[in-house]
Amino acid sequence: MASGDLSMTGAMTRAGALACVLATMAILIPVALAERSSESSLRTMGQAGWDMPLLQPLASQRGHSCTQPDDGTLSAIVPVATDHGSFASGVVFDINRVLTAAHAVQGGQEFFVRVGEVFQLADLLMVDHVNDLAVLAVDTRTINPLIIAGFDPAEAQTVWAAGYPRAQAMMTSSGVLQATREGDLHSSATIDSGQSGGGLLGCNDGAWEMLGMLRGYGTYLQGDRYVKLPNHSVSVAAATINEFLSSQH
């Protein structure tokens, strides 16, 4: 099984200048699978060991600890795949609606979201290639949607990145918000290929919310190749996501 890789672009120096990956470029480069994906093969793959938190309805999140995201919160982060071999992540933000990265579904004809133990066929409803956003429609069953933040996060605020790297088990990492630039959030929470479309999470008064959607990471130039920075990720800010969603109504 192969997953997509994030491509890194921009002018970078040997000293290690950070690069913000642009949505208009191919951030996720799918690696060809041994055979073309299908709904049945994705279902088999799901049963073979893509781990994710137990899906269950959430009670009120207010008053919960802000130490780290709980299983109920993380259940809203789901694996996403396409028929052309691209694997990414997504966030359930409304009933039967999943937000993911536009580059993760680009070129696909069929789209799949893992809910429970199997991949389900999803419909592509909305795409914004400029801001790297896409919305899929799928039966999300009992998953409690994750709230999209209605506030701008503060610099140095603690954040958590959550997604499915390289079509494997969910990975979470913590960091702090470093900067906000042109609608993107830069943080020290590390991510890897396949986590595009996942959630950058923050805690507000005991409730976990989505501060942004993961889209790429920073690199520096070493000789003739780009090297991934271990503690730098870039996310589409919640304000940009909310503007995108409201413009479609």
Domain CATH code at residue 156: 2.40.10.120
Predicted model pTM: 0.75
Beta bridge partner(s), residue 213: 199, 236
Q: What is the 8-class DSSP label of residue 132? A: T
Specify the pLDDT at position 248: 72
How many CB atoms lie under 10 A from the CB of residue 12? 19
Between CA 190 and CA 238, with CA 117 as vertex, the angle to 5 degrees is 40
Q: How far apart are the first and last CA of the chain?
A: 38
> Is 59 among the domain residues?
no
CA–CA separation, 169 vs 118, rounded Å? 14
* pLDDT for 9: 32
Q: In this structure, is residue 192 part of a structural domain? A: yes
Could you list the residue range(s) of the whole structural domain that residue 153 is in? 22-50+66-247
Q: What is the largest CA-CA distance in the chain?
A: 52
| Angle at the Cα of 74 from the Cα atoms of 69 and 78, rounded to 5 degrees | 155
pLDDT values of the chain reduced to their tens digit, one per residue, 249 residues: 434 434 333 333 333 333 333 332 223 222 212 223 334 344 333 333 333 333 333 433 444 568 999 999 999 999 999 999 999 999 999 999 999 999 999 999 999 999 998 999 999 999 999 999 999 999 999 999 999 999 888 889 999 999 999 989 999 999 999 999 988 999 999 999 999 999 999 998 889 999 999 999 888 889 989 888 888 999 999 999 999 999 876
Q: Would you state the structure tokens that stand for residue 236, as one six-digit string?
A: 């589409």
Residue 63: what are its φ and ψ, rounded to 5°? Answer: 90, -10
Q: What is the pLDDT of residue 141?
A: 96
Distance (Å, whole) CA 80 – CA 63: 31
CA neighbours closer than 13 Å in the CB half-sphere of residue 128: 18
What is the structure's pLDDT at 6?
42
Q: Which residues are CB-neighbours of 44 under 8 A, at least 6 positions away?
A: none
DSSP notation for 54-85: PP------TT--SSS--HHHHTTEEEEEETTS
pLDDT in the model for residue 95? 97
Residue 4 lies in a domain: no
Is 81 among the domain residues? yes
Is the residue at 87 inside a domain? Answer: yes
**Burial class of residue 186 (count of CB atoms within 10 Å of its CB; 0-12, 13-18, 19+):** buried
Instruction: With respect to residue 14, please indicate whether it lies within any of the assigned structural domains.
Output: no
The answer to whether residue 202 sits within a structural domain is: yes
Examine residue 8 and state whether it is found in any structural domain, yes or no: no
- Would strands 207-222 and 147-148 be described as parallel, antiparallel, or unpaired? parallel
The pLDDT value recorded for residue 194 is: 92
CB contact burial 210-244 (16+ within 10 A = b; e otherwise): bbbbbbbbbbbbeeeebeebeebbbbbbbbbbeeb
Domains held by the chain: number = 1
Q: What is the predicted pLDDT for the residue at 35?
A: 26
